[in-house]
Amino acid sequence: MLIRFHDIPERTVTGMNHGTGEVCARMYMGEDGKIIPCRIRPGGSIGLHRHETSDDINYVLSGVGTAICDGAEEALSAGCCHICKRGSEHSIINTGSEDLCLLTVVVERQ
Protein backbone atom coordinates (compact mmCIF):
# COMPACT_ATOMS: atom_id res chain seq x y z
CA MET A 1 0.00 0.00 0.00
CA LEU A 2 1.25 3.47 -0.86
CA ILE A 3 0.01 6.61 0.86
CA ARG A 4 0.61 9.90 -0.98
CA PHE A 5 0.37 12.50 1.75
CA HIS A 6 0.84 15.36 -0.72
CA ASP A 7 -2.54 14.29 -2.19
CA ILE A 8 -4.26 14.55 1.21
CA PRO A 9 -5.45 18.08 2.03
CA GLU A 10 -3.71 19.69 4.98
CA ARG A 11 -6.05 20.70 7.79
CA THR A 12 -5.29 23.41 10.32
CA VAL A 13 -6.85 22.88 13.75
CA THR A 14 -6.89 25.59 16.40
CA GLY A 15 -6.86 24.35 19.99
CA MET A 16 -6.51 20.63 19.23
CA ASN A 17 -7.79 18.64 22.23
CA HIS A 18 -8.20 21.95 24.10
CA GLY A 19 -4.56 22.85 23.49
CA THR A 20 -3.25 26.22 22.31
CA GLY A 21 -2.34 27.62 18.92
CA GLU A 22 -2.44 25.73 15.64
CA VAL A 23 -1.67 22.21 14.51
CA CYS A 24 -1.42 21.49 10.77
CA ALA A 25 -1.87 17.87 9.68
CA ARG A 26 -2.48 15.52 6.76
CA MET A 27 -4.27 12.45 8.06
CA TYR A 28 -4.53 8.93 6.69
CA MET A 29 -7.19 6.91 8.55
CA GLY A 30 -7.62 3.15 8.26
CA GLU A 31 -9.48 0.56 10.29
CA ASP A 32 -6.36 -0.27 12.34
CA GLY A 33 -5.26 3.30 13.04
CA LYS A 34 -3.98 6.55 11.63
CA ILE A 35 -0.77 7.95 10.17
CA ILE A 36 -0.44 11.71 10.60
CA PRO A 37 2.44 13.94 9.52
CA CYS A 38 1.81 17.11 11.52
CA ARG A 39 3.27 20.43 12.60
CA ILE A 40 2.63 22.16 15.91
CA ARG A 41 3.21 25.88 15.44
CA PRO A 42 5.50 27.79 17.85
CA GLY A 43 3.74 28.33 21.16
CA GLY A 44 1.11 25.74 20.26
CA SER A 45 0.15 22.49 21.92
CA ILE A 46 -2.00 19.42 21.64
CA GLY A 47 -4.04 19.42 24.84
CA LEU A 48 -4.11 16.68 27.45
CA HIS A 49 -6.11 13.69 26.23
CA ARG A 50 -6.36 9.96 26.98
CA HIS A 51 -5.82 7.08 24.55
CA GLU A 52 -8.45 4.55 25.59
CA THR A 53 -8.06 2.08 22.71
CA SER A 54 -4.80 2.94 20.97
CA ASP A 55 -1.07 3.51 21.27
CA ASP A 56 0.06 6.94 20.02
CA ILE A 57 3.58 6.96 18.60
CA ASN A 58 5.14 10.37 17.85
CA TYR A 59 8.47 10.48 16.02
CA VAL A 60 10.04 13.95 16.05
CA LEU A 61 11.27 15.04 12.61
CA SER A 62 12.34 18.56 13.60
CA GLY A 63 11.89 21.20 16.26
CA VAL A 64 11.81 20.96 20.04
CA GLY A 65 9.08 20.49 22.57
CA THR A 66 7.83 18.74 25.67
CA ALA A 67 5.56 15.74 26.02
CA ILE A 68 3.73 15.20 29.27
CA CYS A 69 2.61 11.58 29.65
CA ASP A 70 0.83 10.46 32.82
CA GLY A 71 2.33 13.48 34.59
CA ALA A 72 5.96 12.83 33.55
CA GLU A 73 7.70 15.40 31.32
CA GLU A 74 9.84 14.28 28.39
CA ALA A 75 12.04 16.60 26.29
CA LEU A 76 11.42 16.24 22.55
CA SER A 77 13.94 16.89 19.78
CA ALA A 78 14.63 15.59 16.28
CA GLY A 79 15.27 11.85 16.19
CA CYS A 80 13.45 10.90 19.39
CA CYS A 81 10.14 9.12 19.74
CA HIS A 82 7.42 9.71 22.36
CA ILE A 83 4.98 6.85 22.92
CA CYS A 84 1.71 7.21 24.79
CA LYS A 85 0.45 3.69 25.48
CA ARG A 86 -3.19 2.65 25.55
CA GLY A 87 -4.84 3.85 28.76
CA SER A 88 -2.38 6.73 29.25
CA GLU A 89 -2.95 10.44 28.79
CA HIS A 90 -0.59 12.95 27.25
CA SER A 91 -0.08 16.35 25.72
CA ILE A 92 2.61 17.73 23.42
CA ILE A 93 3.87 21.32 23.58
CA ASN A 94 6.04 23.16 21.08
CA THR A 95 8.61 25.01 23.23
CA GLY A 96 10.72 26.24 20.32
CA SER A 97 10.66 29.10 17.85
CA GLU A 98 10.06 26.86 14.81
CA ASP A 99 7.39 24.29 13.96
CA LEU A 100 7.56 21.02 15.92
CA CYS A 101 7.20 18.46 13.13
CA LEU A 102 6.03 14.96 14.02
CA LEU A 103 5.12 11.76 12.28
CA THR A 104 2.35 10.32 14.43
CA VAL A 105 1.17 6.72 14.15
CA VAL A 106 -1.95 5.74 16.07
CA VAL A 107 -2.29 1.96 16.44
CA GLU A 108 -5.71 0.67 17.53
CA ARG A 109 -5.39 -2.13 20.08
CA GLN A 110 -8.87 -2.49 21.62
The structure's pTM equals: 0.94
Evaluate whether residue 21 is within a structural domain. no
Total number of domains constituting the chain? 1
Evaluate whether residue 86 is within a structural domain. yes
* Structural domain that includes position 77: 26-108
What is the rounded CA–CA span in Å between residue 106 and residue 84?
10
Q: pLDDT per position in the chain (110 positions), as tens?
A: 899 999 999 999 999 999 999 999 999 999 899 999 999 999 999 999 999 999 999 999 999 999 999 999 999 999 999 999 999 999 999 999 999 999 999 999 87
Q: Phi-psi region for residue 11, left (φ > 0), alpha (ψ -120 to 50) or beta?
A: beta
Evaluate whether residue 20 is within a structural domain. no
User: What one-character-per-residue DSSP string does 35-62 give?
Assistant: EEEEEEPTT-EEEEEE-SSEEEEEEEEE
Q: What is the DSSP letter of 79?
A: T
What pLDDT is attached to residue 47?
96
What pLDDT is attached to residue 38?
98
Which helix (H) or strand (E) segment is 73 a member of? strand 72-77
CATH of the domain at 72: 2.60.120.10
